Amino acid sequence: MNIEHITKKLSESHGWQAKYREIMLLGKQLPALPDALKVDSALVSGCDSKVWLYLDLDENAQQLVLIADSDTRIVKGLLAIIIAAYASKTPEQASQFNAYELFESLGLIAHLSPSRGNGIRAIVEQIQAKAELLK
């Protein structure tokens, strides 16, 4: 999935129900994490729902590799967007990337507010911190 495609799809959906339908469809396309990887140590803390996140560096391509899953459909869809946005970025690019602007432009900024508790903020912060270490 590439981020341009996602942006286009979401901007074409009007109203929250349509947006959520699109988000949940994106989530469905995200491969499920094998149960063996759904371990507590991979949980992102600060999320209401469960979010498992793995991030590594493809040494050859010098690009980030992310896999993630959630026990809720909506958060899984939001993860699909985040993964599409960060995948294939170098750690350098990732740490400079502003995910909030992306969510703002998608009209999903409500989901970044800490009180929504879905932990998108926590996920993005964790990715940024890890990207910083991989630089």
Partner 1 sequence: MTDIQSLRNDFPILNKQLDGQPLCYLDSAATAQKPNKVIDVIKTFYQDENSNVHRGLHTLSENATVRYESARETIASFLNVETREIVWTSGATESLNLLAYGLSACFNSDSVIAISPFEHHANIVPWQEACQRTGATLLVLPMLDGVLDEQGAIALLKQHKPDVLAMGHVSNALGNIHPIESLISVCKAIGTITVIDGAQSLLHLRPDLKALDCDFYVFSAHKALGPTGVGGLYGKYQQLNALPVYKTGGEMIREVSFERSSYREAPGKFEPGTPNISGVIGFAAAIDYINEIDPSALQRYEQTLYHALLEKLKQIEGITVYGDTQNNVGVVSFNYKSEHHYDLATLLNTYGVAVRSGHHCTQPLMKMLKVNGTVRASLAFYNNQDDIEHFINALNATIELLD
The pair phi, psi for residue 4, each rounded to 5°, is -65, -45
Show contacts with partner 1 in window 32-91 (CB under 8 A).
Answer: 48-49, 71-75
Would you give the end-to-end CA distance of the chain in angstroms?
25
Among 16, 29, 39, 62, binds partner 1 (CB under 8 A): 16
Residue 14 known to be catalytic:
no
Residue 85 per-residue DSSP state: H
Q: Between 80 and 118, whose beta carbon lies closer to partner 1?
A: 118
Interface characters, 116-135, with partner 1 (x: CB under 8 A) = --x-----------------
Output the CA torsion sign for 45, 49, 50, 55.
Answer: negative
Does residue 20 belong to the site contacting partner 1 (CB under 8 A)?
A: yes
